[in-house]
Structure 1
């Protein structure tokens, strides 16, 4: 097998590692590409391509994360991970860990860890790497990696998101939510939202967004109802589909261009959080992105009484 063939076989795993460390599709893709370039130029033949490439992509991702965190300190408004519609890496024996670890809630929790803790946690808890492999990947001793893993697990367990065990029940609840949203049904939305539900949006200052997180069942339900009809008037389509392994949707303009994603956290039969990504820089991997500013102008026009138009 050629190096190119080996690399393509391992690409899904490498992307999955990088995305969980970085929370960014574009940065993960860049890390994987940099790993391939390094593999091409590596003079020796690694004993294990999987171990070698996992080490390179992990170290690359740690370096990228350190610089990304500096940029995030000046990020305009709330920061959310780039939405991922489908995880390219699948392992039936670890399907639950893989799905939960890619959720928006889990990725935000990982933001609390240091880059080294995050890398160790991802390699150990998500992909079941042994400590000798992890030590090689992060350039620390096995004992140091075990300590990093303990600290990371403690932080994650303290705030670990818990999702409904029955995926079908979550999907059915999400279907009811999007139907109530399309119809602007205030009472139906109230029934589906948790009392302390929180709705957050991430535009990075590059698109209209909520001025601040909206908290509480009545506030969130009213906002959703207020925007539903004007969005329908300007041809916006709600396209339900999984986002980061959880129920969600892509909102598309009348030209079928994505301009917004929603991810839902569902627990105990209610929606606990709604996370909206509208920053066009984070949506480019979904296809040509709609103009959120133009949509905002059309939306505001659609909200005006007929006599004012």
Structure 2
């Protein structure tokens, strides 16, 4: 097997590492491409290509993450990870575990970690790399990596929700949620939401967005039941699918352009958080992007006759 072919076989793993580090599809793809360019330009021919490339993509991701933190401090509104429909790294034996580490909730918890804590946690806890490889990738001793992992685990476990384990029940709840939302069934929606539910939106200042998170079942249900029937009226369609390993949907305008994604965190049989991404910069990898401002104007016009 030639090196280019072997690299392509490892690409899904490298992307999955970089995406969990960066929370960005575009930045993860760039990190993987830079990994190949560095390897192709070097004379190194390692014993383990997997370990070598994982080290390279981790170091690149750490550098990107350090600079990204400065940009995210100036981000307009709430920052959410770029939605991912499919994790290219497939491991059937650990599918559920990998899906949980990919969720919006998990990625937002990872944001609280330092770049080194994040890299150690992703490599060791998610992808089960040995401490020797983790130490090489991060440039720290194995003892230091163990300490970093202890701190990272503590932060992650303190805030990590208990995701619904029965996938069929979770998916059925999501089906009922999107059906009630399209029909404007406020009571039906409220029955599916936890009392402390939060509706969080990310427009990045480039699309209509919530000024702040909407909290509470009644407030969230009222907003969803009011707005989405109007969106259906002007031709917006909702396609249920997995978003970051959790139930969600992609919304398209009448021309098939991507308007937004919505991902649900389901905990204890109820929707705990709704993450909605409408920032067009974060949707381009899903296809042509709709003009969210024009859609907002149409929704407002559609609302006037019933006002």
TM-score normalised by structure 2 residue count: 0.98
Structure 1 unaligned runs (5+)?
A: none
Please report how far the alpha carbon of residue 45 of structure 1 lies from its aligned counterpart in structure 2 after TM superposition: 1.2
The superposition leaves residues 112-168 of structure 1 with CA deviations (integer Å, 9 ceiling, x where unpaired) of: 100000000000000000000000001111111011011101111111121111111
Name segments (4+ residues, structure 1) moved above 2 Å. Answer: none
Please report how far the alpha carbon of residue 85 of structure 1 lies from its aligned counterpart in structure 2 after TM superposition: 0.3
Please report how far the alpha carbon of residue 300 of structure 1 lies from its aligned counterpart in structure 2 after TM superposition: 0.9
Q: How many residues align?
A: 307
Structure 2 unaligned runs (5+)?
A: none
Distance 1:77 1:24 in 2: 17
Whether 2:98 is the aligned partner of 1:63: answer no
Answer whether contact 2:162 2:268 (CA < 8 A) is retained. no
Which residue of structure 2 lines up, in the alignment, with residue 304 of structure 1?
Answer: 304
Whether 2:246 is the aligned partner of 1:275: answer no
Where does 1:205-220 land on structure 2 (aligned, <5 Å)?
Answer: 205-220=205-220
Distance 1:299 1:96 in 2: 38
Q: Secondary structure at the match of 1:305?
A: helix
Please report how far the alpha carbon of residue 229 of structure 1 lies from its aligned counterpart in structure 2 after TM superposition: 2.0
Q: Secondary structure at the match of 2:246?
A: coil
Q: Secondary structure at the match of 2:194?
A: strand
Q: Secondary structure at the match of 1:276?
A: strand
Whether 2:104 is the aligned partner of 1:93: answer no
RMSD of aligned Cα (Å): 1.0
Answer whether contact 2:181 2:229 (CA < 8 A) is retained. no
Please report how far the alpha carbon of residue 44 of structure 1 lies from its aligned counterpart in structure 2 after TM superposition: 2.5
Distance 1:176 1:93 in 2: 29
Which residue of structure 2 lines up, in the alignment, with residue 190 of structure 1?
Answer: 190
The superposition leaves residues 183-231 of structure 1 with CA deviations (integer Å, 9 ceiling, x where unpaired) of: 1111111110111110010011000011111000110010011102210
Where does 1:1-309 land on structure 2 (aligned, <5 Å)?
Answer: 1-305=1-305
The superposition leaves residues 227-280 of structure 1 with CA deviations (integer Å, 9 ceiling, x where unpaired) of: 022101110001111100000001110011111000000011110010000000
TM-score normalised by structure 1 residue count: 0.98
The superposition leaves residues 164-191 of structure 1 with CA deviations (integer Å, 9 ceiling, x where unpaired) of: 1111110000000011011111111111
Distance 1:42 1:162 in 2: 44
Q: Secondary structure at the match of 1:77?
A: coil
Distance 2:228 2:56 in 1: 46
